[in-house]
Each structure stands twice: as C-alpha cells, then as structure tokens.
Amino acid sequence: MQRLSGLDATFLYLETPTQLLHVCGLVLLDPSTIPGGYDYRKLLRELDSRMATMPTFRRKLKDSRLNLDYPVWVDDHDFDIERHCHRTAVPAPGTHAELAELAGHIASQPLDRSRPLWEMWVIEGLADGQIAVMSKIHHSAADGVTGANILAQLCSLEPDSPALVDPTAQGAGDAGTLDIAIGGLMAVIARPARIARLVPGGIAMLPKWVTRARKGEAMPAPFTAPRTSFNGAITGHRNVAFSQLDLAKVKAVKDRHGVKVNDVVLALCAGALRTYLEDRDELPEDSLVAMVPVSVHGKSDRPGTNQISGMFTQLGTQIGDPVERLHAISDYNATSKNHNEALGANILQDWSQFASPAVFGAAMRVYSSLKLAERHPVVSNLVVSNVPGPPVPLYFLGAQIKGMFPLGPIFHGAGLNVTVMSLDGKLDVGIVSCSDLAPELDQLAQGFGAALDELFDAEVTTPAPTAT
C-alpha cells in the first residue's frame, strides 16, 4: 500500500458536491495521422495496453474505520478500462462552442471514489474532422507536473512509435484493514513531534511577513483581494472556454520588453480580465490577486504525489496602459517569487500533514453549505497556472495533437481557473469557472488574443533589461 500525504489527502477533504477537485484536460487530435486510420475500439485496446505499465491509472483508494490517518492507495485487481473510458459526440453543428459546452458538462460530474480516480472521454462529431479527448484525474492523484508526465507517457514523437515501458514502475500493492489501521496509528503517534518542530517557524512567519511588507518585499497577503462576480460560493455547474495563441508572438513580447514568458502570460490574463470586467461595469479599483501554483518537484524531499507550493501575485488590472501593466506584473512576480522562496519549498506540504480527516472534511461541508466564502474577504481572485510543454509535435496514440488545454479546479471564493500550456509553437489557454458566476466565459477567452495583439503592437517606451 501507499499512504497518501497530507497534501494529497487534503484535496479529498476539500471536495464537496459543488467543489469538485479533479484536474481536466481537453486535447484536440488529428485522426488522419493514426496508422491504419481511426477506430475507437482499436484506440481503446492501445490505451489499455499502455496503461498496463502505468500504476497511477490502476490504483484506487482504500480506508478503514479504524484508520486514524490518511487513506492509502492499493492496486485495483478488478480494473476494467471500459469503466473509465467513454465514447460520445458533440451535437450539431459540431463547432468548438458545442465542444466547450460538452466539456463543461463532463467537468461537472464527480469521480467515483470506489474506482481509480480518473476518466477519459473520446469525443467525436466535430465539424472539422478532429477528435477531442477529455481527461479527468483527481488532484489527490496528480498535480500539474505529475499530470503532464502521465499524459506524456501516452504520447510519442512519431505516430507509430511503440509504447514506452518503465521497468521500474511498481504498483501500489495491497492492504488489509489491520495494516491500514496500524500504519495510521503509528503516523498519528509521531505527529505531535512533527508539530513541535513546525510551530516555532510558523509563529515567526507572520512578523517576518509584516516586515517584508513594510519594505515592499512581500507578496500580497491572503484576504486582501477585491471582490468580483466570480468570487462567491460556487455551485456544481462548470463551464469551459479555451483559446490558442501564437507562442512566437508571446516570446517576441517577452524579448522586446525584457521580461519572462510567465510575466507575459499573467499580463495576457490581466488584459483579458480587465476587458471582461470593464464590459460588466465591475472592474475593481484595486488590482486583482492571482494564486499561482509553484512546482517544487526536485526541491522538496517530502513524500506524496502533489509537490507544490503557491504564491500570491498582483495582476495590475488597475493599470490602463498594457506595457506599463506588463512591467508592473514583472516587478510583482519578482517580489512574490523571492518571498515564496524565503518561505521554503516544503511549507504547504508540511502544514497539510496535520489536516484531520474528520474535522477538515466536516468543516469544509459546513463552509460550503453556509456559503461562507461570500461572508469573508476574498483570499485571492483566481488561480493562474503556466505548464511548459515540448516545442515539438506530439502524437496521442498515433493522432497528432493540435491543441492541449489544461483545465484546473475552482474553489469557493475563487471561481475562476486559467491554465496555459505551451506545445509545438502554440500557447493553449484553458479556462474553467462556475456557469452561475461567469456565464459568458467565451468572452473572457476571446480577450486573450486581443491582449496579445495589444502588447505585440505596442511600442517599447522604456528600456528594459534582458530576462534570464
């Protein structure tokens, strides 16, 4: 068995019927590149064959009433790929609008916790002849980097490349009720000592934050973001929108203004949001605040699938000039990154180790049912992630990938998630919200292209150092 880390388990406890914590991805495929042509049953057999050596797809949760600690992963000996892979089609006329609507419906459905926590939907009927694949995997089983690595194992650089086999891949194993209970008891016994080691650093964190803030060296504090229409209690309804940008234009803006690609990504998000909110007469006077997940893979020695921390940064949405906004975002990012690094790579993983299953889950259900997110200041306005991908064409089971749009989860009080991924000269933007809070999400997606054109066409008015 493999016991979940505190952070992995926290994503289980945070989940409610309205706050679904799976990570999705929408992939557009060109079926004409598949050797021998596209056939759903053939694709399913190939997928099953490749997953045979990928333990993540074949493990499920197991728990015991006697367990005082987090659940464990065990191998699913009754694994059946047809319980996880489904075939459907978009309604006529089969445009990307119908695809986005269907993707939102799929994203609104919870995963079955009695089985391995993932699903895949093969979507046919698109007017342009493409095929879409909508994947879902629970955040307890994969963070952004892990999810990208899992998908990479299903992809290749050539349409007819054989499956990649990892000889070191090991399954989760098995566990009985007593094994789970004894392991959980030992972990709980050791918990007070771990708390004692963390408390002094935790107590010192607040005054250090205040000191940095006085020097202008701190990222925005939680609960300081202005409220917008998508910063309320979310329902279980999801809507999805996506956009595809020219990565060369993004890099040209980066080089011209001496900033980083991530700065440009956040500036595009800020520009699109500013237009979206202005059109609704609800642009706040203060800057929107984004929570940006930060991968600590290779930096953290803590166990668990989720290897992430998070930083808060301002988006400069109160600044009208796009170039001035871009440079302000670059400065905000540098400050937030330095502050986040000072906090340490393990802070989120360490403190999540003390999330009590009974208390945390019950508290989240009460928080959700009473809509408390609408009664306290906004923690952050949205989540923005940037996932780098390969600069070359990729093939998913023989079909060339024409677009890969990551779709992250949303939370009570922060009902908007924007995730971008670079692939083969394109920057793919995936957007998820709650349809009851942001019903016209496609308008926000269209704003990304306009924001890029605005920055690309803008003159460089001040010299800027070259980013490394």
Between the alpha carbon of residue 336 and those of residues 207, 331, 428, the distances in Å are 17, 9, 25
What would the two tokens of residue 296 be?
A: 């600590």
- Give the residues across from 228 on adjacent strands: none
Q: How far apart are CA 253 and CA 260, in angstroms?
A: 9
Q: How far apart are CA 56 and CA 75, in angstroms?
A: 9
Q: What is the DSSP letter of 412?
A: T
Nearest to 462 by CA among 337, 328, 272: 328
Q: Strand, helix or coil at 120?
A: strand
Active-site choice (22, 139, 327, 412): 139
According to DSSP, the β-strands at 416-423 and 399-407 are unpaired
Q: How far apart are CA 418 and CA 429, in angstroms?
A: 7
Q: In what order do the strands lie in the sheet with 59-62?
A: 2-3, 72-75, 59-62
Is 86 catalytic? The answer is no
Burial of 111 (0-12, 13-18, 19+ CB in 10 A): buried
Q: Strand, helix or coil at 218?
A: coil
- Within 10 angstroms of residue 245's Cβ, the number of other Cβ atoms is 20
* Cα distance between the two ends of the chain: 43
Q: Is residue 360 within 8 Å of 13, Cβ to Cβ?
A: yes
Rounded to the nearest 10 degrees, how much is the dihedral formed by the CA atoms of 118, 124, 127, 132? 30
What would the two tokens of residue 118 be?
A: 């993932």
According to DSSP, the β-strands at 72-75 and 59-62 are antiparallel
According to DSSP, the β-strands at 118-124 and 131-138 are antiparallel
Radius of gyration of the chain (CA): 22
Q: How far apart are CA 340 and CA 345, in angstroms?
A: 8
Q: What is the distance, to the nearest Å, from the Cα of residue 54 to the centroid of all Cα atoms in its chain?
A: 21
- Give the residues across from 324 on adjacent strands: none
What would the two tokens of residue 125 be?
A: 């009927």
What would the two tokens of residue 389 be?
A: 């991908």
In the block, which residue shows the tokens 């997940």?
293
Nearest to 240 by CA among 368, 128, 96: 96
Q: Which residues are catalytic?
A: 139
